[in-house]
Amino acid sequence: MSPLLERALLWLALLAVVTSAIAVVWARNENRELFIQLTRLQAERDHLDIEYGRLELEDATWADPARVASVARSRLGMVDPDPAQIRMVRP
């Protein structure tokens, strides 16, 4: 093998090693950034799950039939009709 060919192969191998090293560093950095983003999104998901649970509990409290009837009577002045006032409508 000629010395010129050996030098060319050596430079080519060196270029391949440097390129590979840069690719490894880039991939690790990308992996680190994505992991940080994943952790942040998981924390946000957990926070939203907690808030959703609170909202479901609040919704169940506001929609309780006894509470609705109480509010209807106290704030809106609604009362149950007398049986004589009830009329059946048939199609």
Residue 81, domain member (yes or no)? no
Residue 45, domain member (yes or no)? yes
Q: Which long-range contacts (CB under 8 A, 24 or more apart) does 21-26 make?
A: none
Residue 91, domain member (yes or no)? no
Number of domains comprising the chain: 1
Residue 22, domain member (yes or no)? yes
**Each residue's pLDDT tens digit, 9-65:** 999 999 999 999 999 999 999 999 999 999 999 999 999 999 999 999 999 999 999
Residue 83, domain member (yes or no)? no
Give Rg (Cα) of the chain. Answer: 36
Report d(CA 17, CA 48) in Å as an integer: 46
User: Could you list the residue range(s) of the whole structural domain that residue 21 is in?
Assistant: 3-76
In the chain, what is the straight-line distance between the N-terminal and C-terminal CA atoms, in Å? Answer: 104
Provide the whole-model pTM: 0.59
